[in-house]
Structure 1
Amino acid sequence: MSTHDHQQRGGNLRSIIVSATILAVLGFGAVAVNAVTDGEIARGPAPAPASSTSGATRIAATDAAKSSPAVTPSRAVVETLTVTATEPVPYRTKKVKDSSMPKGITKLRTRGVEGTRTLTYQVTVIDGVETARKVVKTQVTTKPVTEVVAVGTKNCDLNYQGCVPIASDVDCAGGSGNGPAYVKGPVKVIGYDIYKLDRNNDGYGCDE
């Protein structure tokens, strides 16, 4: 290679380096000079120019956040109410023995009547829907009336309607018979007149 060619290649190299420096300053990317072989310059890939839109995006997002109203979650409406209600109170039934009535016979003495009870509740309502209820007070406003039923305990002969006692002999009370048991008539004969109480055979004993 002649001295002239060597000078010419050196001048070209300096021109390329200066041009690359100018391009880097102007933002068009730097040119990397990797090696010089036989007067040729190997260039690496130029880095991509810095993005100029990221800052604008951040500014736009900040402005949108400032202009959008904050979303406040709605709060549930909770109410506590006092409610009253009434319910029936059942009556009791009481049985009493009655020796003047034939055994196995019952008779209503007093009719039972239900009472009433008032209950006070505390009710919790959330957004118009009842969610809880508990009793805070109970009061009997009307007492129930106990039903009373009489139950006969006297042993009576089933041949008669009206209690004729069961004994070795029964006579009409106030008559001439000597007992040992007596009955006050009239009594109706519905079976066999074993005590001969119906003397006139009209179907009734001790009716004279």
Structure 2
Amino acid sequence: MEGKVAHGLQAPVIECASPAQLDILVDTLSDAFAHDPILNWIFPDSSLYPHLFRVILTGSALPRGLVQLEQDGRGAALWLPPDTPFELAPGLPLLQLVLRSLWRMGPGPLLRLRQQAGLFARHKPAAPHFHLQFIGCRQRNQGQGVGAALLKAGLQACDNQGMPAYLECSNVRNLPLYERHGFETQADGVLPGGGPQVWFMWREARVDHTR
């Protein structure tokens, strides 16, 4: 992934992130998901996203997951390894997030979060797999190959362990990217109350890393 790309842009270089990079991860993901259909449906106030991603990163992703970052902070991806449930440790940061949400948006986000979790749980495969929870690049860096490079790096980690990969796609425009990397749609669903459509996608492990 070294080298140059068109128009003098540096080709994406993907690295494993560390807790010391928490601030750049929070900033990158908050920007990348500012217009995400599911997050916008659950939390219409996007100013809450930095608090949300800080809780996810410190309570789940960095301690137990595979967190990858483009070296210039253009994009990031969060994976959970096989048999690692998504759980947020109770504590002050999570409590503050809940209170901020209630203060700014009332109880609606908590209800929608429960509805989203229920739909996702019904479609989550039982077989062990790597779960791609979040992947995105900053809005100003879209179209530079960052998302594809992040996806390739994550899938190589899956393939190295002989494990399939699973994701929930919330944006129809991303389906071709995932399909090019071997994902197939297993089912789809629509979140209630005018919520967005979601595609549940699966990819078997590949021995030769060919994508």
* Range into which the TM-score falls when normalised by the shorter chain: under 0.3
Structure of higher RCO (CA pairs closer than 8 Å, 6+ residues apart): 2
Higher percent of residues as helix: 2
When the two structures are superposed, what TM-score results if normalisation uses the length of structure 2? 0.15
**Greater radius of gyration (CA):** 1
